Amino acid sequence: MERFLLKSGFYLISVSEITEKTSLFKILIQNNQSLWIYTLKNLISIDTYSVF
């Protein structure tokens, strides 16, 4: 995820926004774990493909 975030650019966000996003990610992971893993695998595949 770190590599993906770095490629997406840098954003100035407040601590409260970070907390909200973290909570949202936790909800996504809990409720849609298989979808989350599938998306993460796709991101890794795209990232690996872009290297070549």
pLDDT score for 24? 65
pTM: 0.23
Residues 22, 15: contact at Cβ < 8 Å? no
Rg of the chain over CA atoms, in angstroms? 13
CA-wise closest residue to 25 among 40, 13, 10, 14: 40
Beta-carbon contacts of 13 under 8 Å, excluding residues fewer than 6 positions away, are 21
Residue 1 near residue 40, CB atoms below 8 Å: yes
pLDDT in tens, 7-46: 444 444 445 565 666 666 666 656 555 555 666 666 665 5
